[in-house]
Amino acid sequence: MLILGIETSCDETAAAVVKDGREVVSNIIASQTDIHSVYGGVVPEIASRAHTEAICGVVSKALDAAAVTLEDIDCIAITYCPGLIGALLTGLSYAKGLSFASGKPLIPVHHIRGHVAANYLVHAELKPPFVALVVSGGHTSLLKVNNYTDYDSIGQTRDDAAGEAFDKAARMLGLPYPGGAIMDKLASQGDKNAIKFTVSSVDGAEMDFSFSGLKTALINLVHNHKARTGNAELDECFMADIAASYTEALVRTITSRLRILLERDSSLPIVLAGGVAANSHLRRAVGELADSFGVNHYLPPLSLCGDNAAMIAAQGYFEYISGAAAPLALNAFATKSV
Ligand code: KG4
Ligand code: ZN
């Protein structure tokens, strides 16, 4: 079965063809990063307009690269939530047009489920049930995946997402947007014990995450340092130490929840997903933690961590075979539980 996936929830216009939810046939991504980087973050209206311009070409390329036509496609999987509402509506409206014109079923896909499904494309043996940790620019969610289309939420962020916390820290250090990957490299050059950042907890909700205190601590540190030294610029060693210490606290905040979970029940494998799953320090920490409890862990390849449509098509396959086709009245949602 061939699924055409379409993804426009944030700043990547993406289309892909996936076979049977497990095999990438084509995967095209048009990134808007250059457009938004001058503003230091994604500008929602600009994102919607850029999707509108790119989407026809991106979908054509995905079909061409797969050497198929719309006739060969079994259904159209579309991200309908969560994300920037204008951006989502652009992709959804396009997918509806395609579905109407071709008569192919329209399959709604939750973006977070899509991130998890990126792992199905590279780990043939991976099957639910498992525990998934989705860490991206917009989400930080700890989930129990009971089966391909049945999820329970275990914990989530109360404020910033993990990727947002990396991007804001990078901005504070004067690094370009998006700063996650740059922070990752810089952290490898610094001393993670140089600065003591606190690992936060949420009162009465031990599995939830909070990153805003960590971000504020970094902002105060940088302001105080600049005021004390009179230098507007931070020296490179100090920046690397900040990146390493900040990353250490952020990674420990994430893995501490996983540790609590594993202490209670270590019968299920751990699956990492989302843009921040590309972080080398987090990948190592999750691997070490899983090994110490003797549980399997699965990481997506770097190429499938960030937003893409192959993951949407992969999840779309499982939604389709569970009977989740939507009417053409389907709406988009900026927020929706998984
Ligand atoms: O999954 P994604 O493409 O978009 C959302 O669904 O939000 O995630 C993008 C986020 C950005 O915040 C970016 O800075 C972060 O993932 N990111 C990283 C790394 N690569 C991307 N964060 C930390 N370390 C990385 N290597
Ligand atoms: Zn995403």
Instruction: Output the residue whose Cα is nearest ligand 1's atom 24.
Output: 279
Measured between alpha carbons, how far is 228 from 132 in angstroms, rounded to an integer? 43
Q: What residues are paired with 152 via a beta bridge?
A: 144
Which among 135, 166, 251, 254 is the best mutation to test ligand 1's pocket, defined by most ligand atoms within 8 Å of the CB?
166
Ordered by where they begin, the domains of the chain are 2-118+304-321 (3.30.420.40), 128-299 (3.30.420.40)
Q: How far is the CA of 124 from the centre of ligand 2 (A)?
A: 22
Q: How far is the CA of 16 from the centre of ligand 1 (A)?
A: 20
**Confidence (pLDDT) at 232:** 84
**Ligand having the closest approach to the CA of 11:** 1
Instruction: Output the residue whose Cα is nearest ligand 1's atom 16.
Output: 275
Rounded average pLDDT per 10-residue block, the chain, 338 residues:
98 98 98 94 97 98 98 98 98 98 98 98 98 96 98 96 96 93 98 95 95 96 93 92 98 97 97 98 98 98 98 98 97 97
Please work out whether the CB of residue 184 comes within 6 Å of at least one atom of ligand 1. yes
- Output the CA–CA distances (angstroms, integers) from residue 316 to 14, 144, 237, 297, in the order listed: 14, 19, 46, 23
**Confidence (pLDDT) at 163:** 96
**Confidence (pLDDT) at 72:** 98
**Confidence (pLDDT) at 231:** 87
**Confidence (pLDDT) at 2:** 98
**Confidence (pLDDT) at 75:** 98
Please work out whether the CB of residue 84 comes within 6 Å of at least one atom of ligand 1. no
Please work out whether the CB of residue 276 comes within 6 Å of at least one atom of ligand 1. yes
9: nearest Cα among 272, 274, 208, 322? 274
**Confidence (pLDDT) at 275:** 97
| ∠ CA 304-174-191, rounded to 5° | 75
**Confidence (pLDDT) at 233:** 87
Dihedral of the CA atoms 147, 151, 154, 158 (nearest 10)? Answer: 150
